[in-house]
């Protein structure tokens, strides 16, 4: 799997060696950069993206903390923006989501495009360009804020996100090493040590931006999207300037998008059962259970309290609660 720190450029190695670092969850370490813990193997991508990405006003950036439902929202955004192309029954048969993983259709900036090349040519992307990133708000390339392009942030209950991350970290870990002890990960998480953590600061950065600039930043919750997809996908369409017409609302277009992007549909497709990403990660790792509240099957009451307490303390005064 592509995650080795020896891919780092000399400039990144120099920077990384000057930063505080801690043991990560899998094979690589985390480095504290601009107030957040970044996986060390990503530094080429992070710096190249910050230095070279030129946002355009029509760009759409999907932002998440890992394991908050990125794959799902990538699929929804892709289906929403391309709905006119695949509206009749013939074209529905050849919808790209049926044969390609959402991560291949909506690429990450620092985890793919700028990790593969220092300054990739993005002119082949059709407008509106759709990209994804896990970068914290304060670490976004300057052009993103200057261009006033649209940001869609998806946030998830921290206990579910934590359990999802723990399962995912175990998948990425060499089999002979066994599972990473859950209490050890919990302790790290509550100290802010998770990919792009502290989790609460990541969430708060975008929440605050969404309150200050509601036309530029939309803040969505995984649980709300699950609970009431029609309302929140319509909000998303309005925010992106492509609202559903009365006819679309009547003819089941929203429901069609949600069916296409549902956990059951996507996870049963051959590409998502047997395909791999360019990094070697298996597509099926991004589809585990897709449920709200799965943490109860893994966390004791005491462990859950530990997360609740840290979140409550950190989010106090933010107007956010989980």
Q: Minimal distance in Å, beta carbon 225 to ligand A3P? A: 8
Q: Which two tokens stand for residue 207?
A: 């929440």
Which is nearer to ligand A3P, 71 or 253 (by Cβ)? Answer: 71
By CB under 6 A, residue 266 contacts ligand A3P: yes
Q: Minimal distance in Å, beta carbon 69 to ligand A3P? A: 5
By CB under 6 A, residue 66 contacts ligand A3P: yes
* Nearest to 144, CA basis, from 157, 159, 129: 129
- Name which of residues 267 to 296 contact ligand A3P (CB under 6 A): 286-290, 294
Burial 174-183 (b: 16+ CB within 10 A, else e): eeeeeebebe
* Nearest to 259, CA basis, from 86, 103, 48: 86
SS3 54: coil
Q: Minimal distance in Å, beta carbon 248 to ligand A3P? A: 21
Of 41-49, 52-60, 65-73, 187-195, which part binds ligand A3P (CB under 6 A)? 65-73
Task: Quickly tell me which residue has 């450029």 as its tokens.
Answer: 9
Q: Minimal distance in Å, beta carbon 10 to ligand A3P? A: 31
* Nearest to 34, CA basis, from 176, 196, 219, 182: 196
Q: Minimal distance in Å, beta carbon 17 to ligand A3P? A: 30
Q: Which of 28, 68, 82, 253 binds ligand A3P (CB under 6 A)?
A: 68
Q: Are 240 and 151 in contact (CB under 8 A)?
A: no
Which residues on adjacent β-strands are paired with residue 108?
132
Max CA separation in the chain (angstroms): 58
**Cα–Cα distance for residue pair 73/263, rounded to 1 Å:** 11
Catalytic residue, from 134, 202, 207, 232: name it: 134
Which is nearer to ligand A3P, 72 or 114 (by Cβ)? Answer: 72
**Segment 226-229 long-range contacts (CB within 8 Å, at least 24 positions apart):** 226/292, 227/292, 229/254, 229/258
SS3 1: coil
Which is nearer to ligand A3P, 47 or 75 (by Cβ)? Answer: 75
By CB under 6 A, residue 232 contacts ligand A3P: no
Q: Minimal distance in Å, beta carbon 103 to ligand A3P? A: 8
- Name which of residues 145 to 164 contact ligand A3P (CB under 6 A): 160, 164
Q: Which of 263, 269, 275, 320 binds ligand A3P (CB under 6 A)?
A: 263
Residue 207 a catalytic site member: no
- Name which of residues 103 to 142 contact ligand A3P (CB under 6 A): none
Number of H helices, E strands in the chain: 17, 7
Q: Which residues are catalytic?
A: 134
Q: Which residues bind ligand A3P (CB under 6 A)?
A: 64, 66-72, 160, 164, 167, 261-263, 266, 286-290, 294
């Amino acid at each position: 799997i592509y995650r080795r720190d020896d891919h780092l450029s000399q400039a990144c190695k120099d920077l990384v060696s000057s930063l505080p670092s801690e043991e990560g969850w899998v094979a690589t370490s985390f480095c504290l950069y601009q107030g957040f813990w970044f996986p060390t193997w990503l530094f080429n991508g992070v710096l190249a993206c910050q230095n070279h990405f030129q946002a355009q006003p029509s760009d759409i950036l999907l932002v998440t903390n890992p394991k908050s439902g990125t794959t799902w929202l990538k699929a929804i955004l892709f289906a929403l923006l391309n709905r006119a192309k695949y509206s009749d029954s013939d074209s529905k048969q050849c919808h790209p989501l049926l044969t390609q993983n959402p991560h291949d259709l909506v690429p990450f900036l620092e985890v793919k495009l700028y990790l593969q090349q220092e300054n990739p040519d993005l002119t082949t992307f059709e407008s509106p360009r759709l990209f994804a990133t896990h970068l914290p708000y304060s670490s976004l390339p300057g052009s993103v804020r200057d261009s006033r392009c649209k940001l869609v942030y998806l946030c998830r209950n921290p206990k579910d996100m934590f359990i999802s991350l723990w399962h995912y970290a175990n998948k990425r870990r060499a089999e002979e090493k066994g599972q990473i002890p859950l209490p050890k990960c919990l302790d790290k998480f509550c100290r802010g040590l998770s990919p792009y953590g502290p989790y609460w600061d990541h969430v708060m950065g975008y929440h605050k931006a969404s309150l200050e600039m509601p036309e530029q930043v939309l803040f969505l919750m995984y649980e709300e999207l699950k609970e009431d997809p029609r309302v929140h996908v319509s909000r998303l369409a309005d925010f992106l300037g492509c609202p559903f017409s009365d006819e679309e609302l009547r003819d089941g277009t929203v429901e069609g998008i949600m069916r296409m992007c549902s956990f059951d549909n996507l996870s049963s497709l051959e590409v998502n059962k047997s395909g791999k990403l360019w990094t070697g990660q298996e597509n099926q790792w991004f589809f585990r259970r897709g449920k709200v509240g799965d943490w109860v099957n893994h966390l004791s009451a005491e462990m859950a309290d530990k997360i609740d307490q840290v979140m409550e303390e950190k989010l106090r005064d933010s107007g956010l609660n989980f």
